[in-house]
A and B are shown apart, each in its own frame.
Chain A
Amino acid sequence: MEIKTPISAEIVQKLRVGDIVYITGEMLTARDKAHLRALEWIKSGKKLPVSFNNSVIYHCGPLVKKVGDEWKVISAGPTTSARMNASTKELLKFVDSIVIVGKGGMDIAEELKGKGVYLAYTGGAGALAANAIKRVKDVHWLDLGMPEAIWVLEVEKFGPCIVAIDSHGNSLYDDVKRKVEENFRKLLDEL
């Protein structure tokens, strides 16, 4: 299914774990440092250069190159989302609706209830992802370094992404984790 940004709260609510989606429109990259600075600015009442509300946040530190006056995305797969667990929980207090794209999963099923989904994109697939990124619309906070800046990307059919945590409290990761723990306990006798 193709979804276009801005993604309405209605569509977010409709998505269920296991659904495969392709995103067209705008995505904002944000990693550890961008999350921390955004929280700092929000709390001190400073206006952010971008709005996270109703946005698609992509956990990605792209490899970009400046060609003339324009930035060109070379490779841009997702980064490990779990590093942003704590800061995302905090950030979610300030948004009504959100789509997060990353890899490896997060511990935020509870906080996403009623307001957002987490989409998993194949980790390491940086070249494939760059293919779907049409251009860099803007960049903010470049002083944080290339991987940590907020890159505003225009994407076309970015995917396949799988809905791994939906807005109804379901998480594929929690299901897998339960099974893995069970399998590990069974294995223990043999190891």
Chain B
Amino acid sequence: MPTYGEVVETVVELFRKAETELGDDVIQALRKAYEEEDNEVARMNLEAILRNIEIAKEKRIPICQDTGLPIVFVELGRELCLDFSLVDAIREGVVRATQEVPLRPNAVHPLTRENPGNNIGLYMPQINVDIVEGDRLKITVMPKGAGSENCSALKMLLPSEVNKIKRFVVEVVKNAGGKPCPPIFVGVGIGSTFDGCAKLAKKALLRDVTEMNEFELEILNAINRLGIGAMGLGGKITALAVLVECGHCHTASLPVAVNIQCWANRRASAVLR
């Protein structure tokens, strides 16, 4: 059985890893973009991005100064019996990661804007728990920056508007322009409920970004005909991947959420037994 201390340690190390190293799938997508792009300014930006990733990994420093909000996904095996508060352990891990990685203290009260300085607060870190089969505890951290999060959108479409989903996604990306640090990853949640589709959109971003189905590729190709380019200064690669997750919804609704993720799609996972 995992202990309190192990969970704290794991959370600290996962944040360190996510903040300083990108996954191979993300790096592969960025390199491919650099090879395919022919706009000179966009290539200069992609080159800076790739150099930045190398420096961050080598020096073990955060890739981006916006170390994001601490978002944690937990898969809790139903056979596990924890004799401590998992929430407390994750919170302590975030406080320590803020000190040790370090992370920028980003979490503030929404109205007073007061900053407690440790990334802890009301419903923060955001912890999402799924109960799964087995005896494993899987922890995934996904530090999410504000630049891309601010450009995300949700719309309650009509059930008759299935054919308008693509248009909505492309329009959200168009309106975001250069603000979310393109080339971006586009997480799309279709169905479920108002809140459920937003969660699906975020979860989609955890997937391997090099594997897309036909529907996702179709949206990606449409987005890449907009011409926004890296950092919004023009170019043919605006998005690196479109990742869609679906959930059953009410027969009378069609919620669609678009969660934009900057090129630094940071996430890291570990399994404890």
Please list the residues of chain A having a beta carbon within 8 angstroms of any beta carbon in chain B: 18, 20, 33, 60-63, 65, 74-77, 79-80, 82, 103-105, 120, 122-131, 145-147, 160, 162, 164, 172-173, 175-177, 179-181, 183-184, 186-188, 190-191
Contacts and interface: CB of A to CB of B under 8 A. Distances in A.
B258 to A, nearest CB: 14
B62 A75 contact: yes
Contacts of A186: 225
A84 to B, nearest CB: 12
A175 B62 contact: no
A191 B177 contact: no
Interface stretch (B4-12, B80-88, B102-110, B190-198): B102-110
Interface residues of B, number: 54
Contacts of B164: 191
B48 A172 contact: no
Interface stretch (B131-139, B230-238, B246-254): B230-238
B177 A104 contact: yes
A177 B232 CA distance: 9
A162 B233 contact: yes
Contact of B65 (A75, A80, A104, A122): A75
B103 to A, nearest CB: 7
Interface of B: 41, 44-45, 48-49, 51-52, 55-56, 59, 61-67, 102-106, 108, 113, 115, 117, 145-147, 150, 164, 166-167, 170-171, 174, 177-181, 222, 225-229, 231-234, 262-264
A104 B232 contact: yes
A33 B114 CA distance: 12
B178 A147 contact: no
Contact of B63 (A75, A103, A145): A75
Given A104-B231, A120-B231, A126 B226 contact: no
A9 B164 CA distance: 50
Nearest to B164: A191
B104 A79 contact: no
A123 B181 contact: yes
B103 A122 contact: no
Contacts of B115: 145-146
Given A125-B51, A146-B117, A184-B170, 6 more contacts: A77-B65, A80-B146, A130-B61, A190-B222, A191-B166, A191-B222
